[in-house]
């Protein structure tokens, strides 16, 4: 399903940006890191919820057909 592929792509991007956020040697302040981590986590959670919603909707459509 296309939605699952997009969600997997979002997971890969999430792990990439989190790794970049915590990269050693960067001069980011701890509060800035915490803020961005929360933003990225919120976006990741939203992607997960979208996938879950589309799966539930698909199940309803199949059962109603």
> Which pLDDT score, from 0 to 100, does residue 23 have?
87
Per-residue pLDDT at 57 exceeds 80? yes
Mean pLDDT along residues 21-44: 91
Q: Is the pLDDT of residue 32 over 80?
A: yes
Please state the pTM of the whole predicted model: 0.81
Taking residues 50-56, what's their average pLDDT? 93
* Average pLDDT of the residues in 10-23: 94
Please state, in angstroms and as integers, the Cα–Cα distance from residue 39 to each residue in 16, 25, 46, following that order: 14, 22, 11
SS (H, E, C) 37-63: HHHHHHHHHHHHHHHHHHHHHHHHHHH
Mean pLDDT of the 12-23 span: 94
Max CA separation in the chain (angstroms): 57
């Amino acid at each position: 399903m296309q939605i699952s592929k997009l969600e997997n792509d979002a997971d890969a991007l999430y792990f990439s940006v989190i790794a970049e956020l915590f990269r050693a040697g960067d001069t980011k302040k701890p509060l800035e890191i915490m803020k961005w981590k929360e933003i990225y986590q919120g976006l990741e959670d939203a992607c997960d919820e979208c996938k879950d919603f589309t799966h539930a909707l698909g199940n309803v459509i199949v059962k109603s057909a």
